[in-house]
């Protein structure tokens, strides 16, 4: 399809594109029943815009939109058809049109463990079972995926066998028995290390087998909608639609299962229906995307999100912030309404308490019932293990006994009732998976995030940030999902091996997956990016979790942009892909948060042994890194400074100057950061007050001299053409000499001098700082100035001075205005000596040795500071 660039049709062209945008907006903000109509309309108008053609129309971008809209339309139609067959409401899908980069992310996330799991499309099932993807010949289909096994599993593994070889009493005439449960389903885990998966299957079984609309009908293919069960495929291929890495994906497996040479099993079994096949096939499909039957671990909330697409929430039961009654009411209503699936997870229970309590550490359990009886609140909990410990605490009603079904003994069900208050005490997490159909609107946003280096870990410079606006105060749920990648599987396996070797808790092993979190801020201006978490009011803070999913629930302020920040801690891999899913009952406007100031420059540097001068209380302050900032126009200005040493106290000071700073007072500082914050700090012009055009100098300092670390400085403005350059310190590379005595003005003294001896042509600078016990010089309301003089008496000559020769009252460190001066020893000899002169007016410091001035000289040839200070009276 080619565009005809006819400028005469430009008005029509722009109208068609504008109408397409209107229908695209309606697609995101409209009701689900209108989604298909809006998608078709948007695609039609975009097609017309391309065909008419005009300057300014981005044909490639519109073609991408049309392609996605057509795919979305087919998905909507298939979703509506599936809902009709399964008697369920249509699935809540994101109707936001994805950018090319986002679609690329989803395609790249298809690769896992050397396999390809493509995004599910409307025609995936028909393609597979018409023979275009899987072998539909009479020969049995064999999946060549190498499912890994643990050493314990390999020791008894006897090969991959098909159902007719594993299940007695089933033949070609009654294959449908393998998909039918005659008795209530009772799933159990044996030698597979997937307690979270089996707990998930146990908890979700009522939803998988519901007469009102089985979730299994949209999970496993082919499906018999008439009998509400999966179909049996004689030659063995089964297709699963699993939700991971940003979308629904296609996962194909055969029907072979791992057999053993003992009575132990490597796959999930139904103890009441031993021939039931579909749970083991669901488990196999899930373990295919997670690396094999030696599954190193997950949590049931994550597993259920993959199997059902329901929104995972992790409630930390040991948190001080948990509201017991509110939490119970929420989960009870969700469970009773069929909109919540519940599972539980234990923490690091000491080994001696496991047997006493009947609970297993770091283990997932299914919740099978939720009941209230007067003041009593209880959960029916199931341990998915075949032979397992069962809660034996106070009030336990464990059903660990043998039942009889017909003439056949039934194994223990491993179920027990526990008071909700006891669950809070003995379990660490409650996982709740919520039906997304509780909401009317959904938007998915996909992004790639390159992890910042150590210098920017404490700031939000590289963090994904989004501006979110809601038309009402209806709650918004935001789900952050990290896409799996191979490097994470290796970390999981290493941490499990380390745990097994040392019998340690997963929380105490060295190999970790890192953490992530979501937060909502009131930024200024509203909806813009934040530099640091401390600079703006945090409205809602989510926990940092090591799970691949985390959920933030919050109540927005209507029509007020708020900033959503994605944060991380110690994520070990260099790059990750993520998906943000927004759920709401009111339309949302979501975009990447803009910068508050549109232009920025980034400088990298380091404090080293030559330039780490410490705070302004030290005479070496001026050897700190300095940068000139030249503004071509009046503009607001901000600075963000961060370092790779997280506990290093750092500071920013901006001074109006076009050269290296050698003296400073409080009134010289135009903008400064808070006093020495650790790891990162920020400052900006006050409110909207801009800085005039001109050249300024910014000084970056640590609190103590000699503190080392790399840093990144980000300078932001509203104008282009800002020039940032490094200012070389006049003291860099120089030798430091300190007068052996502090210069102290006695009562009535106004002028002190100390001799400086040189032996060769020398370039030098002089620095003086307050040396007052318990305070700063200048607190007496007087003034001080410093000079460098050749000779004495009326013939003396000033070769350098501070503050333009004037007195300063508010000062911390004084230097020569000239920065450096060249001194010839022959001239010094002829003039009668070189002197540092200090002059006070109005009692700058207290007498009696309680105050004074420390003076040091920096030179390239070395100097000798001769004798002490002497009082002189020279006009």
Q: What angle do CA 120, 125, 127 make, to 5 degrees?
A: 100
Q: Cis omega before residue 525 (within 30°)?
A: yes
* pLDDT tens digits along 224-270: 998 899 998 888 899 999 999 999 999 999 999 999 999 899 999 99
Q: How confident is the model at residue 397 (pLDDT cuts 50, 70, 90)?
A: low
- The sign of the CA dihedral 832, 838, 841, 847 is negative
* pLDDT tens digits along 711-766: 999 999 999 999 999 887 766 677 888 898 888 888 778 899 999 999 899 988 88
What is the number of other CB atoms lying within 10 angstroms of the CB of residue 472?
15
**DSSP letter for each residue of 97-153:** PPPHHHHHHHHHTTEETTEE-PBP-TTHHHHHHTTSSS--SSSPP------B--HHH
Q: How confident is the model at residue 283 (pLDDT cuts 50, 70, 90)?
A: very high
Residue 608 appears among annotated catalytic residues = no
Q: Cis omega before residue 222 (within 30°)?
A: yes
Task: Find, among 564, 462, 572, 569, the residue nearest to 515 by Cα.
Answer: 569
Residue 559 appears among annotated catalytic residues = no
CA distances for 332 relative to 174, 176, 267, 335, 865, angstroms: 41, 36, 32, 5, 82
Distance CA 812, CA 620 (A): 12
Sheet of 476-482, strands arranged across: 441-450, 575-584, 476-482, 549-554
Please pick, among 243, 383, 433, 549, the residue that the annotation labels catalytic: 383
627: pLDDT strictly greater than 70: yes
Long-range contacts of 652-655 (CB under 8 A, 24+ apart): 652/681, 652/682, 652/683, 652/698, 652/699, 652/700, 652/713, 653/616, 653/698, 653/699, 653/701, 654/629, 654/683, 654/696, 654/697, 654/698, 654/699, 655/696, 655/697, 655/698, 655/699
Mean pLDDT, residues 334-348 taken together: 96
406 or 163: which leads in pLDDT: 163
Q: Please tell me the predicted confidence (pLDDT) of residue 849.
A: 41
Q: Please tell me the predicted confidence (pLDDT) of residue 6.
A: 37
Highest mean pLDDT among 37-41, 474-478, 868-872: 474-478
CB-based burial of residue 606 (10 Å sphere; 0-12 exposed, 13-18 middle, 19+ buried)? middle
Distance CA 860, CA 875 (A): 32
Distance CA 523, CA 542 (A): 17
Report helix, strand or coil for 710.
Answer: strand
* pLDDT tens digits along 814-825: 888 888 899 999
**What residue ranges in 669-802 does DSSP mark as E strands?**
669-672, 677-678, 680-684, 694-702, 709-717, 723-727, 735-738, 751-757, 762-770, 783-790, 797-801
Structure tokens at 601: 């420059």
What is the number of other CB atoms lying within 10 angstroms of the CB of residue 778?
23
Percent of the chain residues topping a pLDDT of 70:
89
Of the candidate ranges 28-37, 718-727, 847-856, the one whose mean pLDDT is the lowest = 847-856
811: pLDDT strictly greater than 60: no
Please pick, among 13, 195, 299, 433, the residue that the annotation labels catalytic: 195
* pLDDT tens digits along 567-606: 999 999 999 999 999 999 999 999 999 999 999 999 999 9
- On whether the CB atoms of residues 663 and 802 are closer than 8 A, the answer is yes
83: pLDDT strictly greater than 80: yes
633: pLDDT strictly greater than 80: yes
- Kindly report the pTM of this predicted structure: 0.86
Mean pLDDT score of the chain: 87
Q: How confident is the model at residue 509 (pLDDT cuts 50, 70, 90)?
A: low
Task: Find, among 363, 348, 217, the residue nearest to 300 by Cα.
Answer: 363
Domains of the chain: 7-97 (1.20.58), 117-303 (no CATH), 310-438 (3.90.70.10), 439-592 (2.60.120.380), 599-727 (2.60.120.380), 735-871 (2.60.120)
**What backbone phi and psi angles, to 5 degrees, belong to 98?**
-80, 145
Q: How confident is the model at residue 135 (pLDDT cuts 50, 70, 90)?
A: low
Q: Please tell me the predicted confidence (pLDDT) of residue 866.
A: 75
Mean pLDDT, residues 23-51 taken together: 87
Residue 363 appears among annotated catalytic residues = yes
Q: Give Cβ neighbours of residue 835 (< 8 Å, ≥ 6 apart).
A: 753, 754, 755, 756, 788, 789, 790, 792, 796
* pLDDT tens digits along 206-222: 999 988 788 999 999 99
Distance CA 203, CA 213 (A): 16
9: pLDDT strictly greater than 80: no
78: pLDDT strictly greater than 50: yes
Mean pLDDT, residues 435-449 taken together: 97
Longest Cα pair distance anywhere in the chain, in angstroms?
124
400: pLDDT strictly greater than 50: no
Please pick, among 38, 207, 305, 363, the residue that the annotation labels catalytic: 363
Distance CA 58, CA 294 (A): 50
Distance CA 853, CA 682 (A): 32
Mean pLDDT, residues 414-423 taken together: 92
């Amino acid at each position: 399809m080619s565009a005809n660039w006819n400028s005469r049709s430009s008005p029509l062209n722009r109208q068609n594109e504008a109408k397409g945008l209107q229908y695209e907006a309606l697609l995101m903000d409209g009701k689900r029943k209108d989604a298909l109509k809006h998608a078709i309309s948007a695609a039609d108008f975009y097609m017309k815009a391309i065909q008419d053609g005009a300057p300014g129309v981005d044909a490639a971008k519109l073609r991408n939109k049309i392609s996605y809209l057509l795919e979305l339309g087919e998905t909507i139609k298939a979703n509506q058809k599936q809902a009709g067959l399964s008697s369920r409401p249509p699935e809540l899908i994101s109707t936001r049109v994805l950018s090319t980069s986002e679609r690329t992310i989803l395609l790249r996330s298809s690769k896992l463990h050397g396999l390809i799991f493509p995004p599910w499309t409307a025609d995936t099932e028909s393609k597979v079972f018409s023979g275009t993807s899987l072998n539909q010949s009479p020969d049995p289909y064999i999946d060549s995926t190498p499912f890994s096994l643990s050493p314990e599993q390999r020791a008894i593994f006897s090969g991959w066998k098909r159902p007719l070889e594993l299940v007695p009493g089933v033949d070609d005439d009654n294959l449908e028995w393998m998909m039918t449960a005659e008795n209530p389903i009772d799933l159990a885990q044996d030698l597979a290390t997937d307690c979270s998966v089996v707990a998930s299957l146990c908890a979700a079984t009522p939803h998988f087998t519901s007469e009102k609309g089985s979730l299994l009908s949209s999970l496993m293919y082919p499906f018999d909608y008439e009998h509400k069960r999966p179909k049996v495929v004689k030659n063995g291929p089964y297709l699963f639609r699993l939700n991971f890495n940003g979308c629904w994906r296609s996962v194909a497996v055969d029907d072979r299962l791992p057999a053993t040479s003992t009575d132990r099993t490597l796959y999930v079994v139904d103890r009441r229906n031993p021939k039931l096949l579909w749970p083991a096939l669901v488990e196999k499909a899930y373990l295919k995307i997670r690396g094999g039957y030696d599954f190193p671990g997950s949590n049931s909330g994550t597993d259920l999100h993959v199997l059902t697409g329901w929104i995972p929430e992790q409630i930390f039961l040991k948190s001080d912030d948990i509201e017991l009654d509110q939490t119970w009411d929420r989960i009870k209503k969700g469970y009773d309404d069929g909109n919540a699936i519940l599972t539980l997870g234990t923490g690091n229970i000491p080994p001696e308490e496991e047997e006493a309590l009947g609970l297993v550490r770091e283990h997932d359990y299914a919740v099978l019932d939720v009941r209230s009886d007067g003041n009593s609140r209880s959960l029916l909990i199931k341990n998915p293990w075949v032979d397992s410990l069962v809660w034996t605490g106070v009030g336990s009603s464990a059903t660990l006994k043998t039942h009889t079904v017909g003439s056949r003994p039934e194994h223990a069900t491993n179920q027990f009732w526990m008071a909700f208050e006891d669950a809070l005490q003995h379990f660490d997490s409650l996982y709740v998976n919520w039906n997304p159909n509780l909401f009317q609107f959904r938007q998915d946003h996909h992004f790639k995030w390159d992890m910042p280096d150590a210098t920017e870990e404490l700031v939000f410079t590289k963090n994904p940030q989004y501006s979110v606006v809601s038309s009402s105060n209806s709650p918004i749920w935001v789900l952050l999902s990290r896409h799996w990648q191979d490097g994470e599987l290796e970390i999981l396996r290493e941490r499990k091996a380390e745990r097994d070797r040392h019998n340690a808790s997963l929380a105490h092993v060295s190999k970790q997956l890192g953490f992530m979190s979501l937060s909502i801020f009131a930024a200024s201006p509203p909806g813009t990016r934040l530099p640091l978490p401390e600079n703006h009011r945090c409205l809602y803070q989510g926990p940092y979790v090591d799970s691949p999913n985390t959920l933030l629930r919050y109540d927005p302020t209507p029509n007020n942009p708020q900033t959503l920040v994605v944060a991380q801690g110690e994520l070990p891999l260099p790059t990750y892909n993520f998906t943000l899913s927004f759920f709401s009952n009111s339309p949302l406007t979501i975009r990447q948060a803009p910068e508050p100031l549109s232009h920025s420059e980034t400088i990298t540097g380091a404090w080293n042994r030559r330039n780490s001068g410490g705070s302004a209380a030290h005479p070496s302050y001026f050897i700190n890194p300095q940068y000139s900032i030249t503004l071509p126009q009046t503009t607001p200005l901000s600075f963000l400074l961060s370092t790779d040493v997280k506990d290093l106290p750092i500071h920013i000071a901006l001074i109006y100057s076009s050269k290296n700073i050698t003296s400073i007072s409080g009134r010289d500082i135009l903008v400064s950061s808070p006093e020495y914050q650790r790891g990162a700090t920020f400052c900006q012009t006050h409110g909207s007050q801009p800085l005039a055009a001109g050249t300024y100098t910014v000084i970056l300092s640590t609190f103590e001299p000699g503190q080392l670390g790399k840093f990144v400085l980000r300078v932001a403005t509203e104008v282009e053409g800002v020039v940032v350059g490094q200012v070389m310190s006049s003291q860099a590379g120089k030798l430091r000499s300190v007068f052996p005595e502090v210069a102290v003005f006695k009562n009535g003294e106004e002028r002190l001098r100390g001799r400086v001896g040189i032996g060769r042509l020398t370039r030098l600078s002089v620095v003086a700082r307050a040396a007052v016990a318990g305070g700063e010089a200048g607190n007496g309301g007087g003034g001080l100035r410093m000079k460098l003089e050749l000779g004495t008496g009326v013939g003396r000559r000033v070769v350098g001075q501070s503050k333009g020769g004037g007195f300063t009252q508010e000062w911390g460190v004084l230097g020569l205005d000239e920065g450096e001066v060249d001194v010839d020893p022959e001239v010094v000899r002829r003039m009668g000596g070189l002197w540092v002169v200090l002059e006070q007016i109005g009692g700058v410091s207290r007498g009696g040795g309680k105050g004074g001035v420390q003076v040091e000289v920096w030179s390239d040839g070395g100097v000798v500071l001769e004798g002490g200070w002497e009082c002189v009276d020279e006009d």
